Every structure is written in structure tokens, then in C-alpha cells.
Amino acid sequence: MSTSQQDPSFSAKMTRFVDRVEVLAQKAAVPSMRYAIALIMIWFGFPKLFPGSSSAEDLAVNTVDILTFGLVAGDTARVILAALEVGFGIVLLIGRWMPLMLVLILGHMIGTFTPFLFFPDLLWKSPVC
């Protein structure tokens, strides 16, 4: 006999267990995603504070230069971008001003994808045969 045939309440117990896990997952999902994005922002932003430490530094600086029509360029662009990314990460970890952070990070994500338009040759390379 299977376990479910031996104990008629096995199905009910499993349903209650799955319901509890689902409730816990729902409570943990948003904070977990917020912490993950915060760590990613800090992980990618912090190296930009130091010249030559980020492999994406040149691409990021060139993108900021184009998006600001040359008003923010070079080390200034690098430091501002690094400070913004680290700042976004810290604020996400703290959990304050979430509506504002959503708008700011959405703008940052749009800016992050603009190199696909401006520098496709740097992003798409075919394998060498």
C-alpha cells in the first residue's frame, strides 16, 4: 500500500505543507529580489570607483558621454556612475524610497541597454574560425 492509502489525511497534510511553503515564498520573494539587485548594483558599481578596475568602464563612460551629449565625460562620468550604482544598491538594502528607486533603476536599466544601440560592434562579436 502506498503512504497516501495508509493515511487518509496524508493529502490534507501535504496540501497544508505546500500552502505554508507558498506563503513563506510570497513573503520572501520581493525582499530577496531587492537584496539580489542591491548586491549586483554594488558589485558592478564599486569597481568603477577605481580607474581601470572595471572591465565595463570604457563602455560605461562612453555611453554616459553620448547620453549626456558630452556634458559628463571621462573620470567624472565614471565616478558619478559608480556613485549612483553603489548608492542605488545601498538604498535598496536599506529598503527606503522604493517608489523613487523603481523609477531611478528603470532609468538606469534603460541607460544600461543603450550600448546595444550605440556600440553594437563592441557587444556583438562573431567567433573566430
Q: Where are the domains of the chain?
A: 27-108
pLDDT at 5: 56
pLDDT at 129: 60
pLDDT at 123: 83
Q: How many H-runs (helices) and E-runs (strands) does the chain carry?
A: 7, 0
Residue 83's alpha-carbon distances to 34, 37, 75, 77, in angstroms, are: 19, 16, 12, 10
Residues of the chain with pLDDT under 70: 1-8, 128-129
Yes or no: say if 48 and 82 are a contact pair by the CB < 8 Å rule.
yes
Residue 125's alpha-carbon distances to 54, 66, 86, 96, in angstroms, are: 20, 22, 30, 40
Query: pTM of the predicted model, to two decimals?
Result: 0.77
